[in-house]
A and B are shown apart, each in its own frame.
Chain A
Amino acid sequence: MPFAEPALVVATILFFIGVTGVIVRRNLLFVLMSMEVMLNAAGLAFVAGSALHGEPDGQIFFLFILPVAAAEVAIGLALAVLIYRKFQTLDLWSIADAAGE
């Protein structure tokens, strides 16, 4: 399959974009979004891998990942709402400082 290897490269790039976002972002929403990017990068890698090997396992696995991602987003957003109610902000650094005192 001619798209498989470029797709893996794209997945890697996407994954590191996500990682960078998780590490450097201060806002909880952006961190959650970056995690979604990482998850989808993993999903893309599964699909590309399955295409490369000509086997369906990877695609089936991605079908499992999708609901996991959805559930994770639900929980993550719920957490974000609760945190905002409690601290009146979504800035992770100031929340950490406030909790540490």
Chain B
Amino acid sequence: MDTMTSIYPSLWLIPGLPALAALLIFIFSGSIRPRSAGWIATTGVAMSFLWAIFSFIVYNNATSKGAVFFHQIGWKWLDAGFVQANAGLLLDRVSGIFALVITGVGFLIHLFSTSYMENEEGQRRYFGFLSLFVASMLILVLADNAFFMLIGWEGVGACSFALIGHHYEKRENVAAALKAFFVTRFGDVFLILGVLLLAMIGTVDFTRLETFGLADLNIVHPVFNLTFGQLLVIAGLLLLGGAAGKSAQLPLQTWLPDAMAGPTPVSALIHAATMVTAGVYLIARFHIVFALSPELMMVVAVIGVLTAFYGATCAIVQTDIKRILAFSTISQIGFMMLALGVGAFSIGLFHFFTHAFFKALLFLAAGSVIHALHGEQNIFKMGGLRKELPGVFLATVAGTIALAGIPLTSGFFSKDAILWSALTSDRGNILLYGVGLTTAVLTAIYSARLIYVVFLGAPRADYHLHAPSPRQTWPLYILAVFALFAGFLNVPGLLHWEHYFQPHFKGWASEPSHNLTGEIIAAAVSAVLAVAGWFVGSVLFSPKRMVEGRIIPEPAMDPMAIRIETASPYRFGVANFLYRAWDFDHLYATLVTRPYRKISKVLSWTDEYLVDGIYEAGSVILQLFHGFFVTLQNGRVGRYAAVMLFGAALIALLLTFFGSGNL
């Protein structure tokens, strides 16, 4: 392990190169051309990607000789009681996969952005923050302890705020950026408390998390008067709060659909590589803490499966192409949480891996469509784009069939593995499996809807297409290849993903059953249901029905024209309820935002009249004194004389009546 220090490739280059690119862009933003900013950022991430590949290969060679992880300590960073942290980086199987996806997908998104943002305002700011975003996420996954990880965690939050609000001239965009920031911050508070609690009762050094597994869970902690096991559950719940905020899980998912206000490549980056997968990483990283408590694992699984179902139901009625994808991300992250919650950690990471490709692909394709249509996002104003944008169409088909889990695509392999684990691992049960399977069907339906409404049928608007440049289409093709074939990384005997993670999760993972017939039957069930879902979607949203305007397919009125909180574009109450994302925004506005505004009004009144009143009274008294002394010094000679006279008279009087006799 540590004996190999001398031959490590320096891990600092992985987050360092994008950070350097961001720094260069910000420092020289006054003197470089906007186009150059894009190339600096893209080069930085590309080099970081190459270096990550190199480091990962060296690491994998070393693992065959017995190394468990690469660990590089930069310097002692925090030294305050139980808060002990190095600024150090750690490369192991989990952080390696994350770093590869972040830099690889991040690079393609950067490349796409150089074309997408070509004629936009604020390119230098955009690319600076984009690179910083990638660098923060790399710090997050490569940090060797939770305190250093928090730096990346907060950096991701700050960069997402800046990028979602990139077009800050529009008020809604600023509101969306603030919403994303506040909601994730709300989760971050729990995360910080959880990290502090873990640091207090054990360690948050990622190389020593194993010690939690050795501790006696029944020892009563002297400070908290709770057993160690109970404290771990509390810490796990706090961590889960942070993960739910960042990964947009119930009940903190409301920010993600609104985060669509940012430029589309930013959404791709947020959804595929950076930001929302941080919660998945967090739980995978602290898997020991979670695995020690079955209840905690059940909470994770239930939140995951409910979020998956929630996201899929909302996605099915959305009309904005980006909101469809946003809800599908919420749903797919829910699947990852489900996998983590039933103890199939490596499968959760596998779904993260495949999802990164097809979701980045779908967002970039959506970006190409929006770009080609000069900013149109309503799918009911598209249609018939298959002939106009054939490359984008093929790439989107690849992405949607992977999302739907059509057999042999990457999404099929990962989702089927999750469902199988939910059914047969000793933490899973039939209920989780049932809801998961229903969600998979819904996923197939809305995937089909996306393709049929956007690309097939006749055009429903006059297009003046703006053809995508090669820098937009090539990233799509590359991602499409991965979206279709990345699933083969988890085929036993070939490249076995689960086997690769075996040493990392060791005994903590719950093994699903290895009954081969059962597995094949379950896979067949998922495959049939996915295809059936796709078929249902294709019938419901077939171009013919679109023309006739029957059942739910088309909203009765233009949804963009209505305020989202009370929007009801459909003729059916249920569809409207789903369209408003189960009225969560309304609920939070009633429970939190409006009471908060009322309280702040009262407080502002107190501040204005009570607190300010005290200080203003003080100043009034001082002004009175001031006025008195000013009149004594106003330069009116006559008044001086009068004062002298009366003073002298007073002295004379005093001397006359109280004087010591003979004057």
B628-663 vs A, CB cutoff 8 Å, 1 = contact: the mask equals 000000111111011001000000000000000000
Query: Is B645 in contact with A92, judged by CB distance below 8 angstroms?
Result: no
Query: Is A25 in contact with B635, judged by CB distance below 8 angstroms?
Result: no
Q: Which of A23, A31, A100 contacts B635 (CB 8 A)?
A: A100
Residue of A nearest to B643 (CB): A23
Q: How far is it, in angstroms, between the C-alpha of A92 and the C-alpha of B240 when the chains are bound?
A: 82
Chain A residues touching B, range: 10 to 19
Query: At the interface, yes or no: A1 with Cβ under 8 Å from chain B?
Result: no
Q: List 11 A-B contacts (CB under 8 A).
A: A19-B645, A22-B638, A23-B638, A23-B645, A24-B638, A25-B638, A26-B638, A31-B637, A92-B637, A96-B636, A100-B635
Q: How far is the CB of B457 from chain A (nearest CB, A)?
A: 83
Query: Which residues from A are CB-within-8-Å of B639?
Result: 23
Q: Which of A64-101 contact B (CB under 8 A)?
A: 92-93, 95-97, 99-100
Query: Is A23 in contact with B634, judged by CB distance below 8 angstroms?
Result: no
Q: How far is it, in angstroms, between the C-alpha of A24 and the C-alpha of B642 when the chains are bound?
A: 9
Query: Is A93 in contact with B636, judged by CB distance below 8 angstroms?
Result: yes
Q: How far is the CB of B444 from chain A (nearest CB, A)?
A: 85
Q: A19-B641, A22-B641, A100-B635 are in contact. List 7 more A-B contacts (CB 8 A).
A: A22-B638, A23-B638, A25-B638, A26-B638, A31-B637, A92-B638, A97-B635
Query: Which residues from A are CB-within-8-Å of B636?
Result: 92-93, 96
Q: How far is it, in angstroms, between the C-alpha of A10 and the C-alpha of B636 when the chains are bound?
A: 29
Q: How far is the CB of B647 from chain A (nearest CB, A)?
A: 13
A18-61 vs B, CB cutoff 8 Å, 1 = contact: the mask equals 01001111100001000000000000000000000000000000
Query: Which residues from A are CB-within-8-Å of B634?
Result: 96, 100
Query: Which residues from A are CB-within-8-Å of B637?
Result: 31, 92, 96
Query: Which residues from B are CB-within-8-Å of A99?
Result: 635
Q: How far is it, in angstroms, between the C-alpha of A92 and the C-alpha of B634 when the chains are bound?
A: 12
Q: Which of B635, B641, B642, B645 contacts A96 (CB 8 A)?
A: B635
Q: Which of B604-642 contact A (CB under 8 A)?
A: 634-639, 641-642
B98-112 vs A, CB cutoff 8 Å, 1 = contact: the mask equals 000000000000000
Q: How far is the CB of A28 from chain B (nearest CB, A)?
A: 9
Q: How far is it, in angstroms, between the C-alpha of A95 and the C-alpha of B638 when the chains are bound?
A: 13
Query: Which residues from A are CB-within-8-Å of B641?
Result: 19, 22-23
Residue of B nearest to A24 (CB): B638
Main secondary structure of the interface of A (DSSP, over half): helix
Residue of A nearest to B645 (CB): A19
Q: How far is it, in angstroms, between the C-alpha of A100 and the C-alpha of B641 when the chains are bound?
A: 19
Query: Which residues from B are CB-within-8-Å of A93?
Result: 636
Q: How far is the CB of B630 from chain A (nearest CB, A)?
A: 10
Query: Which residues from B are CB-within-8-Å of A100?
Result: 634-635
Q: How far is the CB of B312 from chain A (nearest CB, A)?
A: 78
Residue of B nearest to A97 (CB): B635
Query: Which residues from A are CB-within-8-Å of B642?
Result: 23
Q: How far is the CB of A83 from chain B (nearest CB, A)?
A: 11
10 closest Cβ pairs, A-B complex: A96-B635, A23-B638, A23-B642, A22-B641, A92-B637, A100-B635, A23-B641, A96-B636, A19-B645, A99-B635
Q: How far is the CB of A48 from chain B (nearest CB, A)?
A: 19
Q: How far is the CB of A38 from chain B (nearest CB, A)?
A: 10
Residue of B nearest to A22 (CB): B641
Residue of A nearest to B633 (CB): A100
Q: How far is it, in angstroms, between the C-alpha of A100 and the C-alpha of B630 when the chains are bound?
A: 11
Candidate in A22, A31, A97, A100 with the most chain B CB atoms within 10 angstroms? A22
Q: How far is the CB of B160 from chain A (nearest CB, A)?
A: 58
Q: How far is the CB of A51 from chain B (nearest CB, A)?
A: 21
Q: How far is it, in angstroms, between the C-alpha of A25 and the C-alpha of B642 when the chains are bound?
A: 12
Residue of B nearest to A99 (CB): B635
Candidate in B635, B638, B642, B645 with the most chain A CB atoms within 10 angstroms? B638
Q: How far is it, in angstroms, between the C-alpha of A25 and the C-alpha of B638 when the chains are bound?
A: 7
Q: How far is the CB of A37 from chain B (nearest CB, A)?
A: 13
Q: How far is it, in angstroms, between the C-alpha of A22 and the C-alpha of B636 when the chains are bound?
A: 11
Query: Which residues from B are CB-within-8-Å of A22?
Result: 638, 641
Q: How far is the CB of A21 from chain B (nearest CB, A)?
A: 9
Query: Which residues from A are CB-within-8-Å of B645?
Result: 19, 23
Q: Which of B290-327 contact A (CB under 8 A)?
A: none
Q: How far is it, in angstroms, between the C-alpha of A95 and the C-alpha of B635 when the chains are bound?
A: 9
Q: How far is the CB of B629 from chain A (nearest CB, A)?
A: 14
Q: How far is it, in angstroms, between the C-alpha of A99 and the C-alpha of B639 when the chains are bound?
A: 16
Q: How far is it, in angstroms, between the C-alpha of A91 and the C-alpha of B645 when the chains are bound?
A: 22
Q: How far is it, in angstroms, between the C-alpha of A77 and the C-alpha of B635 when the chains are bound?
A: 20
Q: How far is it, in angstroms, between the C-alpha of A26 and the C-alpha of B621 when the chains are bound?
A: 32
Residue of A nearest to B634 (CB): A96
Residue of B nearest to A21 (CB): B638
Residue of B nearest to A28 (CB): B637
Residue of A nearest to B639 (CB): A23
Q: How far is the CB of B645 from chain A (nearest CB, A)?
A: 6
Residue of B nearest to A25 (CB): B638
Query: Which residues from B are CB-within-8-Å of A92?
Result: 636-638
Q: How far is it, in angstroms, between the C-alpha of A23 and the C-alpha of B649 when the chains are bound?
A: 15
Q: How far is the CB of A4 from chain B (nearest CB, A)?
A: 21
Q: How far is the CB of B649 from chain A (nearest CB, A)?
A: 10
B474-506 vs A, CB cutoff 8 Å, 1 = contact: the mask equals 000000000000000000000000000000000
Q: How far is it, in angstroms, between the C-alpha of A70 and the C-alpha of B646 when the chains are bound?
A: 27
Residue of A nearest to B637 (CB): A92
Q: How far is it, in angstroms, between the C-alpha of A97 and the C-alpha of B641 when the chains are bound?
A: 17
Query: Which residues from B are CB-within-8-Å of A23?
Result: 638-639, 641-642, 645
Q: How far is the CB of A72 from chain B (nearest CB, A)?
A: 15
Q: Which of B554-591 contact A (CB under 8 A)?
A: none
Q: How far is it, in angstroms, between the C-alpha of A22 and the C-alpha of B646 when the chains are bound?
A: 13
Query: Which residues from B are CB-within-8-Å of A24?
Result: 638
Q: How far is it, in angstroms, between the C-alpha of A97 and the C-alpha of B636 when the chains are bound?
A: 9
Q: How far is it, in angstroms, between the C-alpha of A26 and the C-alpha of B634 when the chains are bound?
A: 14
Q: How far is it, in angstroms, between the C-alpha of A4 and the C-alpha of B636 when the chains are bound?
A: 37
Q: How far is it, in angstroms, between the C-alpha of A45 and the C-alpha of B636 when the chains are bound?
A: 29
Q: How far is it, in angstroms, between the C-alpha of A99 and the C-alpha of B636 when the chains are bound?
A: 11
Q: How far is the CB of A96 from chain B (nearest CB, A)?
A: 3
Query: Which residues from B are CB-within-8-Å of A96?
Result: 634-637
Candidate in A19, A23, A26, A93 with the most chain B CB atoms within 10 angstroms? A23
Q: How far is it, in angstroms, between the C-alpha of A31 and the C-alpha of B639 when the chains are bound?
A: 12
Q: How far is the CB of A24 from chain B (nearest CB, A)?
A: 6
Q: How far is it, in angstroms, between the C-alpha of A92 and the C-alpha of B636 when the chains are bound?
A: 7
Q: How far is it, in angstroms, between the C-alpha of A22 and the C-alpha of B637 when the chains are bound?
A: 9
Q: How far is it, in angstroms, between the C-alpha of A26 and the C-alpha of B641 when the chains are bound?
A: 13
Q: How far is the CB of A85 from chain B (nearest CB, A)?
A: 19
Q: How far is the CB of B295 from chain A (nearest CB, A)?
A: 81
Q: How far is it, in angstroms, between the C-alpha of A31 and the C-alpha of B636 when the chains are bound?
A: 12
Q: How far is it, in angstroms, between the C-alpha of A92 and the C-alpha of B638 when the chains are bound?
A: 9
Q: How far is it, in angstroms, between the C-alpha of A95 and the C-alpha of B636 when the chains are bound?
A: 9
Q: Which of B420-438 contact A (CB under 8 A)?
A: none
Q: How far is it, in angstroms, between the C-alpha of A75 and the C-alpha of B626 when the chains are bound?
A: 35
Q: How far is the CB of B395 from chain A (nearest CB, A)?
A: 78
